[in-house]
Amino acid sequence: MKKSQPSIRHLASIVLAASLFAAAPADAAPEAAVPPAIASMARAIAAELLMHCPLADADDTAALEGCRAGIEGQAILRSHLPAVVLWGHHGAQPGGQLPRVRMTQLAPDTWAQLYAPLFMFNGNHEVEWMPQENLYVIRLEAAFRNRLPPGQFPTPFWHDADQWAAYQKTNGLLLWVQPQTRRIHVAQFTDRAATPLLQAVTPVARAFDGQWLWTDGAGRAQPAVAQFEGLYGAENPHLRSLEKAYRDLSLQMRDARCGECHVPSNPAGTDRLVLLSSPAHAAGEIDRVIQSLHKGSMPPASHALPADDREWLLRSAQAFRDTLRAARAWAREVVGEERASSGPSASLGR
């Protein structure tokens, strides 16, 4: 009787386990020959992504959810992210080096849960030391889920036709790693990798109507993936309070003209764009927003607020942060209870 071939997930689990046991100390000196610790890290991330985010149809929302659930929490990829991840497109830079271009600043959970799952992987990867950047780069062969419903993208990427075309033709994901910390400080998608597309792409033409948030035909707020219910679950007892706190903050940010800068189109042309245009993005940045308000660096002088309005903006931001912490604490408690009763594979649904 012919033996069945091992599944992709089974093979990935074997590679993942082997890479974890092969880990080496993080203090290996950067050099052209990749140190064992960095190589092990790259293998573990590639195996994890292959296990949870393998190639599937580009409109498969179940595969998207499986990928998102597989790389949340204490996942290997997530554990190698710093407090801030810079995200953007990597075009045709000489020698494949890190480009000096405008990038979006994201909280690690925002990137890991809303951006990374939009890609699919086959496990193939390579690691290279880039002396001009003093960084390692992990190059992963990847494909993009371009045919998902619009609400599954954290922002309407099609607001920029060139950006949307590049997303759709993605054939690689680049992770730029700081050698001393083994943290991924920059992540980029590229349509210029040396390897071909992993699967045929049927392009989707989308028109942007100027709205970063919208309501669908059923009356649901979109993008669904960037709403609090999608982040913390409908059963979270803090959900309604959180939505109200965000609405209050949104009104204050509108009066402070935050939408003139902190939106995906980056009208101010900042090199490090901070997005506040959706509940998920605002949640990821709220601590830094409050710090900026305390320091007086936000809003900028060109958008200066009267003292009373500035105080209301700060209070709204703090109320949103406090409610957000309560919602997150409840979600973590539920996850802990589920894991205690159902084993280590249980996790909180989105």
Query: To 5 degrees, how large is the angle CA 280–CA 338–CA 116?
Result: 35
Contacts of 235 (CB under 8 A, 6+ apart): none
Please tell me the predicted confidence (pLDDT) of residue 3.
Answer: 35
Please tell me the predicted confidence (pLDDT) of residue 24.
Answer: 41
Please tell me the predicted confidence (pLDDT) of residue 120.
Answer: 98
Contacts of 128 (CB under 8 A, 6+ apart): 34, 96, 136, 137, 139
pTM here? 0.86
Chain position carrying tokens 């054939």 = 171
Phi-psi region of 296 (alpha: psi -120 to 50; beta: other; left: phi over 0): left
Please tell me the predicted confidence (pLDDT) of residue 11.
Answer: 52
Cβ-contact 176, 133 below 8 angstroms: yes
Please tell me the predicted confidence (pLDDT) of residue 95.
Answer: 52
**Could you tell me the maximum CA-CA distance found in the chain, to the nearest angstrom?**
80
Burial class (CB in 10 A: 0-12, 13-18, 19+), 124: middle
Please tell me the predicted confidence (pLDDT) of residue 302.
Answer: 59
Give pLDDT tens digits along the chain (350 positions).
333 334 555 555 554 554 544 444 444 444 568 999 999 999 999 999 999 999 999 999 999 999 999 998 889 999 999 999 999 999 765 455 676 678 999 999 999 999 999 999 999 999 999 998 899 999 999 999 999 999 999 999 999 999 999 999 999 999 999 999 999 999 999 999 999 999 999 999 999 999 999 999 999 999 999 999 988 888 999 999 999 999 999 999 988 888 888 999 999 888 899 999 999 999 999 999 999 888 877 766 556 778 888 889 999 999 999 999 999 999 888 865 554 444 333 333 33
